[in-house]
Amino acid sequence: MTMKVGSRQVDGVTIVDCSGRITLGEGSVILRDTVRDLLSKGNKKIVLNLADVNYIDSSGIGELVSAFTTTKNQGGELKLLKLTKKVNDLLQITKLYTVFDVKDDEAAAVKSFK
């Protein structure tokens, strides 16, 4: 299953609903293009909803890091929402759980932006 994304606005925050696999190739490119497009349009408060992402490889992890740093470098914030156990475990063992702001509840994620 390839990756699909859809975005929506909630109180000035862009929620990007991702589903499928974030892996080398199409999945990583879709995520990269989506975040860059949002930033270019001035949407700098971004939440990646990963509830339906069932698989991510090292390239996908790299793409999450890239999205995080690109957003931060442009004065924005990118947070992660609703990690599956597999993705959560990967972020734990790579120590990236300490880097990302990870939320379990969408309303709380939206509120957490300053």
Partner 1 sequence: MTEQRVSYTLDSSLETVDNAEEKATRIATELGFGEDEVMQISMAVREGAVNAVLHGNAYAADKKVTLAFERVGEELVITIRDQGKGMDLSKIPNPLAPENLLKTSGRGIFLMRSFMDVVEIRPSSAGTELKLIKRVHGPSEGAKEASQ
Per CB under 8 A, 57 contacts partner 1: yes
Q: In the window 9-48, what residues touch partner 1 (CB under 8 A)?
A: 23-25
Per CB under 8 A, 68 contacts partner 1: yes
Size of residue set near partner 1 by CB under 8 A: 20
DSSP code of residue 97: G
- What distance in Å separates the CA atoms of residue 15 and residue 35, rounded to the nearest whole number? 11
Per CB under 8 A, 86 contacts partner 1: yes
Per CB under 8 A, 95 contacts partner 1: yes
Per CB under 8 A, 79 contacts partner 1: no
- What distance in Å separates the CA atoms of residue 60 and residue 26, rounded to the nearest whole number? 10
CB 101 within 8 Å of CB 79: yes
Cα four-point dihedral sign 34, 32, 94, 53: positive
Q: How far is CA 32 from the centre of its chain?
A: 10
Per CB under 8 A, 66 contacts partner 1: yes
Per CB under 8 A, 69 contacts partner 1: yes
Q: Which residues bind partner 1 (CB under 8 A)?
A: 23-25, 57-59, 61-63, 65-66, 68-69, 86, 90, 93-96, 99
